[in-house]
Amino acid sequence: MLGIIMAGGQGSRLMPLTATRPKPMVEVLGRPVIDYVKDAMVEAGIRDIVVTTGYRGDQLQSHVNSWSDTSGTVKARINQEASPMGTAGSVGLLRGSIQTTCVVGSGDAVASFDVASLLAAHRQNNAKVTMALWEVENPSEFGIVGLSSTMDGEVDGDLRQGFIRRFLEKPSPEEAFSNVINAGLYILEPEVFEHVPVGQKFDFSKQLFPRLLELGWPMYAQTIDGVWFDVGQPFELIKAQTTLMSRYGELPFTFPPQFFEKDGVLMAESVVCEGAVDRAVLGPNCEIKSGAEVLDSLLMEGCKIGHGAHVVHSVLGVGVIVPSNCVVENCVIGDGVVLETERPYVDEKIEHSP
């Protein structure tokens, strides 16, 4: 069975972190986000994986190559888009390789996908499409899905699995007929790609799935348990890492081998930490000098925090230098930035050194 991971987006809302890396290569718990959906596929027995790439695909090429093991158990490759093709359009480029049921997932979400359970539901209900769903309290920022217990039944907002009957993007409270949303992982039959135009930009959720619904094709959906994060905003990275660390052991995620957890802090073995750190992730070769404080933050590889500096609820890219006594609060700092001591940094996004 073929697994396809969509990883072509630029991730503009994650700037400045994505100025130097594609969105799926931003890290959560020391691992690129794309690894989470890859692991879910491998856990379900999928051994042939293709990653569709666009923006900064060269970085993904190197990483995806590392998935293929010498035994040949996992075979992974990328398919680079010449121009943006949309979600369905990018996967449609692989239609010649999709001969049987395939699994398609988003490379920029952290979720506890049970792909085997979704496959079983797909087969049991003779579906052409099966979609993973996630339940939210406020669906107004998402695309909601209406379900029925039968293919031609009325929408029941209390259902958490069933046949798809309606879609609606970003509903108002009055419009919302459910609070389950598209979680970005699909089980698809090859014939659905007959409805993806060749050579055109085309989207799964906005174009293909509504079209199949109009045609009366059987489309099923099942709500996942555990966690789901669309890390489309920098502070979602902090929220995700805090949740995953607090629930470590009950979720199907592991830390990279060079990391260890201690008292609510996840850090690489090469970290030198003399200061106070809480609810944070510290990448390889970070240095925290004495008197410094790092709280509720993410520090990528090679960050240097000087004596007496304070970093609170912030995301620091690779190699950021925070000098002694500098204050950084609610900030997102791009790779290689060297901050100044003279002023505090509060609620800022910085791509280049001041």
State the average pLDDT over residues 256-265.
89
User: 221 φ, ψ to 5°?
Assistant: -150, 150
Looking at the predicted structure, is the pLDDT value of residue 9 above 60?
A: yes
Cα–Cα separations (whole angstroms), residue 101 to 68, 193, 205, 270 = 22, 12, 19, 43
pLDDT value of residue 336: 96
Tens digit of each residue's pLDDT (9 = 90 or more) over 263-292: 889 999 999 999 999 999 999 999 999 999
Q: Fold match between 2-234 and 255-350?
A: no
| Domain assignments of the chain as residue spans, ordered by start | 2-234, 255-350
Q: What is the pLDDT of residue 82?
A: 83
Supply the CATH classification number for the domain 2-234.
3.90.550.10
Q: What is the mean pLDDT of residues 48-56?
A: 91
109's tokens: 């979400």
Q: To the nearest whole percent, how much of the chain has pLDDT over 70?
A: 99
Q: What is the mean pLDDT of residues 137-153?
A: 93
pLDDT tens digits, one per residue of 10-37? 778 889 999 989 999 999 999 999 999 9
- At 178, the pLDDT band (50, 70, 90 cuts) reads very high
Residue 298 vs residue 59, higher pLDDT: 298
**Tens digit of each residue's pLDDT (9 = 90 or more) over 158-168:** 999 999 999 99
Specify the pLDDT at position 294. 98
pLDDT per residue as tens digits for the range 200-226 = 999 999 999 999 999 999 999 999 999
Assess whether pLDDT exceeds 70 at residue 71.
Answer: no
| CATH architecture assignment, domain 255-350 | 3 Solenoid (2.160)
Of residues 12, 13, 21, 15, the one with CA closest to residue 349 = 15
Q: pTM, whole model, 2 decimals?
A: 0.93
Q: CB-side exposure of 95: number of CA atoms within 13 Å?
A: 15
User: pLDDT digit string (tens) for 122-137?
Assistant: 999 999 999 999 999 9
Predicted local confidence at residue 219, as pLDDT: 98
Q: Is the pLDDT of residue 70 over 70?
A: no
What is the rounded average pLDDT of the residues 98-104? 96
Residue % of the chain over a pLDDT of 90? 77
The whole-number average pLDDT for the span 183-191 is 97
Which of these, 106, 244, 325, 323, lies nearest to 333 by C-alpha position?
A: 323
Give mean pLDDT, residues 329-339: 96
Six-digit token pair at 117?
A: 């359970």
Give me the residue label for tokens 């809302």.
Answer: 13
**Mean pLDDT over the full length of the chain:** 93
pLDDT at 354 over 80: no
User: How confident is the model over 142-168, as a mean pLDDT?
Assistant: 95
Higher pLDDT, 69 or 98: 98
291-320 per-position pLDDT tens digit: 999 999 999 999 999 999 999 999 999 999
For residues 234-256, one letter each, b for 16 or more C-beta atoms within 10 angstroms of the residue's C-beta and e for the rest, the string is bebbbebbbebbeeeeebebebe
**Contact between residue 264 and residue 245 where contact means Cβ atoms under 8 Å apart:** yes
> Band of the pLDDT at 58, cuts 50, 70, 90?
confident
